[in-house]
Copies of this chain bind each other. A is one copy, B any other.
């Protein structure tokens, strides 16, 4: 398995997205949107080109719309897909959620090159993914390919010293306390250069639709 998929998998798990497919009350959500705009089924029908009856069935979960139908929906309603798929958005904002992770109590995800400790992994639906990493790699050649994933990444060296290899820059030496922010779809890879394996704290943004 490649370094990329490892990291991706780790991030996906960390992101708190349930591995199963969510119930996804798409119909319910559609009705919600429609009523919020004070639209009738006929209005939506004209906007989307879908038959009134079809819309009714979708809202009542009697049929599972075709993907082309979904496209017509998002085009006609002027919304984007993530919006259609995020029912719990409404007041998930002022929840006052929190998730504590004591030192060393994160979820471990070892790979040949990195040893990740995912922090705050109790919390689903978060916009950032924090994790602490022990950098086991000692040479750039240990990576079969660039690590890359959508979004942005912030990184601070907690202990030791590392060399940050990136696709478009010369390798960069980072010591304890140094930090860097970069676009993480640019290939990147870390190796420890201190005697002890270096420890870094990373925070990635969660992938969002383009």
Contact = CB atoms under 8 A, between A and B. Distances in A.
Interface of A: 5, 9, 12, 17-21, 24, 26, 37, 64-68, 70-72, 74-75, 78-83, 85-86, 88-89, 93-104, 119-120, 123, 126-128, 130, 150-152, 154, 156, 158, 166-169, 172, 174-183, 185-186, 201, 203, 205, 207-210
A181 B102 CA distance: 12
Chain copies in the assembly? 2
A96 B178 CA distance: 19
Contacts of A120: 154, 179-181
Contact of A12 (B64, B80, B166, B203): B80
A112 B47 CA distance: 25
A37 B158 contact: no
Contacts of A19: 75, 78
A64 B123 CA distance: 35
Contact of A86 (B104, B152, B175, B209): B209
Contact of A67 (B64, B93, B127, B180): B64
Given A9-B78, A78-B19, A210 B93 contact: yes
From A83, A93, A96, residue with most partner B Cβ within 10 Å: A96
Contacts of A154: 119-120, 128, 130, 203
Contact of A186 (B24, B95, B175): B95
